[in-house]
């Protein structure tokens, strides 16, 4: 089975940075943004190898394959990976599923904008991957839950700096006036 998803990148008109702590916590944040016709894509395929998972960022020409047990037993795996968001998200989703699901998969991603473009590409990519997992494993996550999970993986698990507007814009799409 092949699962595909995409999420739109965004541009911000105003308020960018107000959704970043400590400003957000102390004063609240407010952002005006819209998504554009550039996307991050995610594809999930069942892996031919029942003991491994492969992460491919085709736009970056990076491929990493891990034994499934290795992903759940080694603590420093995220620090070594060039695809830490892919790996952290896989671990987060799979650990909540239990043992009744096929964990041997290939995750292929591509983004129309390069990292550091200012369009929220990494968060949009995270949202696209969560949407694919949502479909593959019938997680029944709504747009708000998808945005929250993307924020959690990026900001809490991985400690990446940034705010929340990117995850919400990518998850909901369209023109957004967001309050934090």
157-168 pLDDT tens trace: 999 988 899 999
- Secondary structure (3-state) at 119: coil
32-63 pLDDT tens trace: 999 999 999 999 999 888 889 999 999 999 99
pTM of this prediction?
0.93
In this model, does residue 129 exceed pLDDT 80? yes
User: What is the rounded average pLDDT for all residues in the chain?
Assistant: 92
Mean pLDDT throughout 104-120? Answer: 94
Going from the C-alpha of 159 to that of each of 85, 91, 151, 156, the distances in angstroms are 11, 16, 10, 5
The catalytic site residues sit at 166
In this model, does residue 74 exceed pLDDT 80? no
Contact present, 66 and 106 (Cβ < 8 Å): no
């Amino acid at each position: 089975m092949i699962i595909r998803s995409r999420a739109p990148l965004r541009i911000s008109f105003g308020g960018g940075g107000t959704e970043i702590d400590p400003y957000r916590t102390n004063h609240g944040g407010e952002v005006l943004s819209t998504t554009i016709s550039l996307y991050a894509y995610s594809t999930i395929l069942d892996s031919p190898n029942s003991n491994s998972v492969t992460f491919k960022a085709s736009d970056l020409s990076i491929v990493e394959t891990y034994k499934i047990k290795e992903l759940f037993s080694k603590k420093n795996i995220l620090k070594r990976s060039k695809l830490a968001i892919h790996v952290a998200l896989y671990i987060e989703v799979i650990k909540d599923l239990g043992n009744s699901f096929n964990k041997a998969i290939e995750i292929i991603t591509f983004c129309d904008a390069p990292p550091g473009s200012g369009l929220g590409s990494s968060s949009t990519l995270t949202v696209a991957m969560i949407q694919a997992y949502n479909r593959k494993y019938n997680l029944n996550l709504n747009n708000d839950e998808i945005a929250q999970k993307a924020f959690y993986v990026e900001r809490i698990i991985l400690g990446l700096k940034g705010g929340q507007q990117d995850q919400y814009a990518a998850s909901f799409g369209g023109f957004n006036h967001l309050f934090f």
